[in-house]
Each structure stands twice: as C-alpha cells, then as structure tokens.
Amino acid sequence: MSSSMSSSSSPSSTLFYLKHTPQSRHYPHPSSNSFPFYFTMRNLFRTEPEALSAIDFTGSFTDVWRQIRVSMVMPPLTAAIGVCAVMSLMMFVERVYMTVVVLLVKFLGKKKYTQYKLEALKEDLEQNRSYPMVLVQVPMYNEKEVYKLSIGAVCSLTWPSDRLIVQVLDDSTNEVLRALVELECKKWIQRGVNVKYETRNNRNGYKAGALREGLNKDYVFDCEFVVIFDADFQPDEDFLWRTVPYLLENPELALVQARWKFVNADECLMTRLQEMSLAYHFAVEQEVGSSTCQFFGFNGTAGVWRIRAIEDAGGWKDRTTVEDMDLAVRASLKGWKFVFVGDLEVKNELPSTFKAYRFQQHRWSCGPANLFRKMTKEIIFCERVSIWKKFHVIYAFFFVRKIIAHWVTFFFYCVIIPISIMVPEVHLPKLIAIYVPATVTILNSSCTLRSLHLLVFWILFENVMSFHRSKATIIGLLGANRVNEWVVTEKLGNATKPKSNLKPLKRSRSRFGERLHFSELVMGLFLLYVAIYDMLFGKDHMFVYLLLQSGAFFVIGVGYVGISVSN
C-alpha cells in the first residue's frame, strides 16, 4: 500500500477533563523573595549538628525541589509548551481551511472530476472505437493469500482485449509460490487475456524497481496509460471506463486516483480505527488537493498514470520508501495535473495484525520525511509551478501533515502535558490544551460517522501510534538507520473467507515475549506514575485522561491489539 497515507494523525481531545490553572494546583506559587537554591543548600549544611534535629527535613527538601523546578525545569518546559502551541495552531488552521474548502466544493458542486462529462466521453470513445492501449501492473511479493484475488480482478476488467495488457510483476522469493502465481496467469491466458508474467532475480529498488523494469519491456512501448494495483486490490469491472476517459479529455492530466474501500474494516477494533483515519485522508486531504492545486500524493495503487508523464518526471526512483509520492511530486513540478475521483472505490484489505501495521506506518511516516528533506530545495527553485503551489506542497502537504501532525500529537499530549502536571508553576493555556485538539478531532472524525462511538478508542490509539510515527519522521529527516527499511505489508485475505474458516484469536504463551513492545510499556509506566501523582496532589482531574492513555500504551505494549495469526 502507499506511504502517502498520511495517514493523518489527530491530536488527543481526551483532554476535555483538563482544568489546568496555576491557582488550582496543590503547590503554592513561589514568592518573589524566595532564597536561591544554593543559599538553601548552604544554610542546610552549615547548621550545627545539635540543631539538625530541629530542622524540618520534609519542608527543606520541598523548598529545594520547588527551587529546582523554578530555576531548571520551568524555563525549558515553558519553551516546549510554546513550541507545541505554535504547532497545534498550525495544524488547527490547516484542518479548518481544508474543511471550509471541502464544504464549498460539496455544496457548490465544484469537485474537479465532476467538471468532466464522463458519460459523453465514454459514448464518444465507443463510437470512434479509438481505444488507447492500457497496461495494468500488479506488483507482488510473496502474496500467498491474495494473489488469486488481484489477478482475477484485473483480468476481469472490461476493455477491448487487444488493447489491454496485464503485467504481473512477481518478486516472490518462494519458488513454490512463484509457480502458483505463474499457473494462475496461464489460466487467464487460456481465457483470452493478454497476461505477461515477469520475475526478477533480485529485489533492487523494491516496488519502484519492479515497476520501472516493467515499463521497459518491449511490448509496453505502444501503451499510452498504465494502471497500478497492489496485490490486495480488487477493482470493479468498469474501472477503466470510469478513469481513462478523463485522461483522454485533458492532455495536461497525468494521474487519475480512485478512492479505497476497506473490505475488512469490521474485522477487529484496530481495522475500524484505521478506517477512521484513512477516511479523512481520502474525503478531505485528497479532495482538497485535487480541487485547489490539482495535486495530491499518489497512493501507490488504484490509480491511472499517463506513461509520458512518468517519463517526463524522470521515471520511478527508489531513493526513498515512498516511490509513489516521489513520482507525484516530481510530475507536479513538471506542470502535470492530477484529479481525484471520490465516487470511484476500489476494494482492498487493511493490515489486521499490529506487526504489519507498525511496519506500514513506519514506512508511511519515515518515507515522506526523508523525501521532504531531499526535495525541499528542488521545490523552492522550481520555475514551472506557482508560488501558491510551492507553498501548498512544502508547508501543507509535507510539513504540517507529514511532520507536525505526528510530533504535536505525541510530544505535546503524551510528554509535555504530563510533565507539566508535576510542575505547577507552569501555565498551560486551555485554548491549546482543550479547545484546539477538540476541534481538530471533531473535524477528523466527522468523515466516519458510523464509528463515532469509537472516538475515545481512536484518540488513544492514534496517540500511541504517534509515538512510532514521530520516531519515524525523525529517522527520515536525519537519514538515520532504518530510513530505507522496506517491509511488505502482510495480507491475510480474511475478508474473502467464510467466517467459519477464520482462525480464532490466539494468545499463545510461547509467543508472549515476541508480542512485548518495551517502548510502549515504558510510556505506559510514565503516564501511570503521573496519573497517580495527579490523583494524590493535583486538583485538575487530569488523571482521568492519563489513566486511559496509560492503559492504551499497556494494551498495545503487551500486543493485545489487532488479530493474532500463527506462523
């Protein structure tokens, strides 16, 4: 699947419980005539031994700790709150802007794809019978559970058989599986479908390398458009009829992107929560990019490209793990335009094991940050696009959605705010701590009304995942270890199996150690400690949120999320 999901992390709005004012704290605010820290310690150690018994050590050390808080902890913590407040407002403004644009587009009927007269284009195409040559690429790697589904779906596309080539790019390392995939291709060849089965002796460039080599085949030279489907995607038969005409109508159009439909969204709680995040990405982020700048990140699958645009942009590159986003940005800088077709859905599968989801989110977060690092200068000095488009790509598309959204969600709501509870001298504005995240969360969740009752679980889960996403963005920005790590998202194909055949959820003791995630457990302990501290000494009821968030870290820390499958 694509790395461009940006997957759009939401800051926690569980802070509705927050009533954070200095006056409500247990500790008094230090007076202006308090002794400096070193005077306190000097007087303590210069006291005569006979008088030590009369000293209130508890009070003395309380004063010392208060002086440490004021002189050493409060300044950096206040600065951190200020930085997080700025990031929160940046994300708030960007979310409100996108909401306004989407509402205007919807009520004014200005969606970009509705400006094309699709039915008239289809009729004209059928009358002239001037069908373009279309290539369908299906990259796969050890896709045992879903290879039949994907091959069967793309081979069933309705398009003149002499104008369609299905190219199965199999990088599988399992020789038995390779034989099965090739056998499936031969079965469709016998039915009259022009299927090309291509393999490589290496995985150089991963998916980008496979797609690049596929386009270099001799039989592809006559193809005008290329459609890409990941191995778990199952397009409807009329997919080409609902996408290719857009490209024929507008020669400046490079990409037509369809929406994803998740066939296993109800498989477990984790898949329901993923659906909430991705629904916002498609319904808002993609729609806004298509309607305003005619640019958005290619999702890596369920899209139709003009091959000439790919060549003009420099072809597929494997310099990051987000080859799809890389190609989209480069094509956009060449002046090509994109359109998102929001009413065209392609069925696919969400990762239902936490291990697969973690690897996917690392790639989707690390890759964009690394690409941002490598392309910022190129975007700034590009002369073929407007300043507005440059600003949209650098600020909104990359900086706010791919970096700021992850950082503010984790550092502010899981680190800075909990620490501030133990430093009562620090003032935490309610506007930033409560109202801004509440508004952002409501806007994000409004795209999946059927899961609105899961809002609290979604917030807590997204906060935990923001820990991994923040770490991945830092790795991407620094080009550190794991920056080019590529792990194919595991598919189970459970959505197409009868419920009676689904494997039950198993929690084997022998595999308990493999499921432990120590970083999540450490975060859970930290938040639990702060929650207990707030229960004993605080008066703002912040412990309610902290206990819930701590529980979420513990649940994920012991691997009790998603489904469990045997090796």
Please identify every residue annotated as catalytic. 171, 324
For 268, the token pair is 């477990």
Element (H, E) at 167: strand 164-170
- CA trace torsion 155, 161, 162, 163 (10° rounding): -70
For residue 87, which amino acid is it? M
Asked whether the CA dihedral 242, 244, 250, 254 is positive or negative, the reply is: positive
User: DSSP readout, 505-567?
Assistant: P---GGGHHHH--HHHHHHHHHHHHHHHHHHHH-SS-THHHHHHHHHHHHHHHTT-SB-----
Residue 563 CA: distances (Å) to CA of 199, 264, 347: 32, 12, 20
Residue 417 in contact with residue 320, Cβ under 8 Å? no
How many Å apart are CA 493 and CA 233, to the nearest integer? Answer: 11
Distance, first Cα to last Cα, the chain: 22
3-class DSSP state of 345: strand
Q: How many CA atoms lie within 13 A of 143 on its CB side?
A: 27
Q: Residue 313 has what DSSP assignment?
A: T
Q: Where are the beta strands (DSSP E) in 334-425?
A: 337-348
How many Å apart are CA 350 and CA 490, to the nearest integer? Answer: 9
For residue 524, which amino acid is it? G
Residue 489 in contact with residue 356, Cβ under 8 Å? yes
- CA trace torsion 402, 328, 289, 370 (10° rounding): 10
For residue 314, which amino acid is it? G
Q: In what order do the strands lie in the sheet with 253-262?
A: 195-199, 164-170, 134-140, 225-228, 303-306, 253-262, 337-348
For 409, the token pair is 């969600």
- Look up tokens 């109508």; give the residue: 249
For 208, the token pair is 């980008």
Comparing CA positions, the residue from 158, 141, 360, 304 lying closest to residue 231 is 141
Mention every residue, 6+ apart, whose C-beta is less than 8 A from residue 489.
1, 351, 356, 359, 360
Residue 417 in contact with residue 433, Cβ under 8 Å? yes
How many Å apart are CA 203 and CA 384, to the nearest integer? Answer: 35
